[in-house]
Amino acid sequence: MNYQKELTFAIEAVRKAGKLCREVQHKLVSADSMEKKDRSPVTIADLGSQAIVTLSLQRDFPGEMLVGEEDSTPLRENAELKERVHLLLAQFIDPINDATLYEAIDFGNQDPNGTARFWTLDPIDGTKGFLRGEQYAVALALIEQGQVVLGVLGCPNLPLSYQHLEKGEGCLLYAVRGEGCWMEPLDGGERIPVKVDGFTNPAEARFCESIEKEHASHEVHEQISRVMGIHRPPFRIDSQCKYAAVARGDASIYFRLPRSSSYREKIWDHAAGVVVLEEAGGKVTDFRGFPLDFSCGKKLENNIGLVATNGALHDLTLKAISEVVHLT
């Protein structure tokens, strides 16, 4: 298998980070914290997750670049928060000092070179889902010369099967370019191949979108689905778990049109999900049908909107979009 060492590192790092995040969500997120709009639990989990992945990367692939979302400022400014992160990390790794913690988190503050090899991480994708006690993901991907070649999605709350909830929740989906997509329990266990559904008739399909209306235009999504003849209600779910949902057939289509025409997506919000879905047999483009371009830095500067499908419905989805959305 290509990238075997890289995949082994990425699976274990995301597994450990996912367990850390699950620990925080179960113990620190409560009705009281949500009522007070206390974001400290997600800050603790975010920074702890990024520290774990970074330290693992520096051990297994010293000298390689990581482009992450977080920095250590909240810990440098809040001693109590810093100590809580230390206590949390001590459950998963050997103790580290403050300087090592800061350096590990800040290591992700690098600007990628589009022609180079680098990793990109979202330590918690779907912070509002995390705070609601719902869906979120730890997303790690490897990019080479602007192409995503490997991705791992850790989804601590995602059921292993919506048809068989008794199987439990918490899963890892991962893929290497050209070698298919696989899923296994977050806590370890048998891996199974993952494939998109085979729907070719939009009337049988279900589309996926963000829960939060401010993240994407639900109204435009609804217009697109009407044009396509989709009758089933949308599957609303946070984070890159939407890619996982389409990859394994929980939904057939995921589209996302930001409310601002000037907005450009961050690479860490999509890289892992893209390769997971494509290796499951799906297709991902922007609203104009262009492939996502990961060679432009931290943002998808050359892309507008996002369409991810089971492949069979992709052209029909793009046609419907062109009838509803007028892109400049």
Q: Please identify, among 141, 176, 193, the residue that sits at the C-terminal boundary of a domain.
A: 193
DSSP state of 267: G
Residue 161 and residue 40 share a domain: yes
The confidence score (pLDDT) of residue 174 equals 98
Task: Tell me if the pTM is above 0.75.
Answer: yes
- Total domain count, the chain: 2
Residue 166 and residue 44 share a domain: yes
pLDDT digits (tens, 9 = 90+) for 228-242: 999 999 999 999 999
* Spatial contact of 52 and 20, defined as CB atoms under 8 Å apart: yes
**Residue 220's pLDDT band (boundaries 50, 70, 90)?**
confident
Residue 225 and residue 163 share a domain: no
Residue 319 and residue 240 share a domain: yes
CATH number, domain of 251, equals 3.40.190.80
Please name the residues in contact with 186: beta carbons below 8 A apart, sequence gap of 6 or more. Answer: 15, 18, 19, 22, 154, 155, 156, 170, 171, 172
The confidence score (pLDDT) of residue 217 equals 79
Residue 104 and residue 60 share a domain: yes
The confidence score (pLDDT) of residue 35 equals 46
Residue 159 and residue 263 share a domain: no
The confidence score (pLDDT) of residue 259 equals 67
Domain containing residue 312: 202-324
Residue 294 and residue 181 share a domain: no
Residue 214 and residue 108 share a domain: no
Which DSSP helix (H) or strand (E) runs through 149?
strand 147-159
Question: What mean pLDDT is predicted for residues 140-148?
Answer: 96
Is 46 one of the annotated active-site residues of the chain? yes
pLDDT digits (tens, 9 = 90+) for 93-137: 999 999 999 999 999 999 888 778 999 999 999 999 999 999 999
Rounded to whole angstroms, the Cα distance separating 296 from 314 reads 25
pLDDT at residue 191 greater than cutoff 80: yes
Residue 228 and residue 84 share a domain: no
Q: Which of 43, 54, 120, 127 is catalytic?
A: 127
CATH number, domain of 95, equals 3.30.540.10
Tokens of 221: 């999504």
* CB burial readout 195-224, b (16+ within 10 A) else e: bbbebeebeebbbbbbbeeeebbbebbebb
Rounded to whole angstroms, the Cα distance separating 252 from 205 reads 6
How far does the chain reach from its first CA to its final CA, in angstroms? 43
The confidence score (pLDDT) of residue 39 equals 77
Residue 227 and residue 165 share a domain: no
Residue 59 and residue 32 share a domain: yes
* Spatial contact of 124 and 50, defined as CB atoms under 8 Å apart: no
Residue 101 and residue 75 share a domain: yes
Is 285 one of the annotated active-site residues of the chain? no
**Residue 77's pLDDT band (boundaries 50, 70, 90)?**
very high
> Of the given ranges (65-79, 185-199, 210-224, 231-245), which has the lowest mean pLDDT?
210-224
Rounded to whole angstroms, the Cα distance separating 296 from 318 reads 24
Q: Please identify, among 193, 217, 235, the residue that sits at the C-terminal boundary of a domain.
A: 193
* Spatial contact of 47 and 77, defined as CB atoms under 8 Å apart: no
Q: Please identify, among 137, 162, 193, the residue that sits at the C-terminal boundary of a domain.
A: 193
What one-character-per-residue DSSP string does 84-101 give? HHHHHHTTTS----HHHH
The confidence score (pLDDT) of residue 113 equals 80
What percentage of the chain exceeds 90 in pLDDT?
A: 83
Q: Which of 43, 46, 54, 285 is catalytic?
A: 46
